[in-house]
Amino acid sequence: MKIRVTPFATALLAVTALSAAFATQAAEKEPISPIPAAVITQPAMVELGKKLFFDPRLSKSGFISCNSCHNLSMGGSDNLTSSIGHQWQQGPINSPTVLNSSMNLAQFWDGRAKDLQEQAGGPIANPGEMAFTHELAINMLASIPAYRSEFKAAFKAEPIDIGQVTLAIAAFEETLVTPNSRFDQWLVGKTDAITKDELAGYQLFKTSGCVACHNGVAVGGNSFQKMGVVEPYKATNDAEGRFAVTGKDADRFNFKVPTLRNVELTYPYFHDGGADTLSEAVDTMGRLQLGRKFTNDENGKIVAFLKTLTGDQPQFMLPILPPSSDKTVRPNPFDK
């Protein structure tokens, strides 16, 4: 059957194309960019990394996994002021979300890891977190036949080493992006994707100066800034002294700006988890960073805008972890 294209249809297509072009140009002028969908080029490595991310056997207790502190059912964080590590030790700082973390200029609040692979090795050997050692972790993985086969398939090399472990975890974490938020839909031309109040909140977000630090595709994560520019910040714990970027006293309270993507899911807020709600966080940031006291109406509109940044959460089947073998080391979880 031959389809006849009428002059009206041709004109409609032209208008649609023109509207899309204008929407693209408008989006390019905004300080925030839409998140692109993840592109998986090494599925075997990603699948292996997913298993490692969820495997508590990478911890000394056999109880803590990456997902314990970066729970993918809870916005990639744990909703605690600071995470609970080995033998119920409380960490010194709030756990940042793993979602969209590949877009950060560096990892951890102080940026001490240059990328996700370097970051992945830290918690395994940290005595306050997973409390294992890299050597014991490798021995554990190598004792499991199914893991040996999966590492060989993913890396075409033997034996297993910590570089392969961290690279696989990083490959999985790179897929944990959250595109298609309502705000992203608005950016690409769907004008009814956000409400009038949400749009007003975005305009306030821009005109008040929030975008000076919270910009780009992740709406943050691309610079280090001092917490408490106009007024000093009083942390609820000692995190400000431990996590300066350079370790110098003059750089206390300098942290990587957190992403605001999915921020409604990642409470409590700030490096010390000192703000329980978005309203409280907006009020604190307004006063300390901008020297501005937002009215209740302004605060509500900014919060409404921030909630439009929640994107499609990663969807996948939970991995079935390979069983341990008779040779697998099973540490006593109560050993110090």
Residue 296: closest CA among 286, 307, 288: 286
For 313-321, the CB contacts below 8 A with 24+ separation are: 313/72, 313/75, 313/99, 313/178, 313/262, 314/72, 314/99, 314/175, 314/176, 314/177, 314/178, 316/50, 318/54, 319/47, 319/50, 319/51, 319/54, 321/51, 321/54, 321/55, 321/57
> Is 231 one of the annotated active-site residues of the chain?
no
For 17-20, the CB contacts below 8 A with 24+ separation are: 19/189, 20/189
- Give the SS3 label for residue 226: strand
Spatial separation of the C-alpha atoms in residues 178 and 84, rounded to whole Å? 26
From the list 28, 47, 118, 129, the catalytic residue is: 129
Taken in order 234, 240, 241, 247, the sign of the CA dihedral is negative
The catalytic residues are: 129
